[in-house]
């Protein structure tokens, strides 16, 4: 019974969090994930360049 209660609370809280996310926040998450993924997978991209790119993106989004 406790597991059903925990699942219900997590589902409800997840739904509330999804309601608070704007489209712009969603796209920002995808963009930052893409930059981080490229930085990890592509050996030609330096870590410093990836960090600078993510910092610039964060500063532009204020």
**1-58, pLDDT tens digit by residue?**
678 888 888 888 877 777 788 888 888 889 889 988 988 898 888 889 888 988 998 8
Tell me the C-alpha distance between 17 and 48, whole Å. Answer: 32
Token pair 């960090």: residue: 51
Q: What is the pTM of this model?
A: 0.61
Q: For residue 11, what are the CA distances in angstroms to 5, 6, 17, 39?
A: 10, 9, 10, 33
Which tokens belong to 58? 């964060």
- The single-letter DSSP state of residue 43 is T
Q: Supply the pLDDT for residue 52.
A: 92
Q: Supply the pLDDT for residue 1.
A: 60
């Amino acid at each position: 019974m406790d597991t059903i209660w925990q699942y219900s609370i997590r589902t409800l809280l997840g739904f509330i969090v999804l309601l608070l996310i704007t489209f712009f926040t969603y796209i920002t998450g995808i963009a930052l994930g893409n930059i981080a993924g490229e930085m990890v997978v592509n050996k030609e991209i330096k870590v410093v360049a990836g960090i600078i790119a993510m910092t610039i993106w964060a500063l532009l989004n204020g």
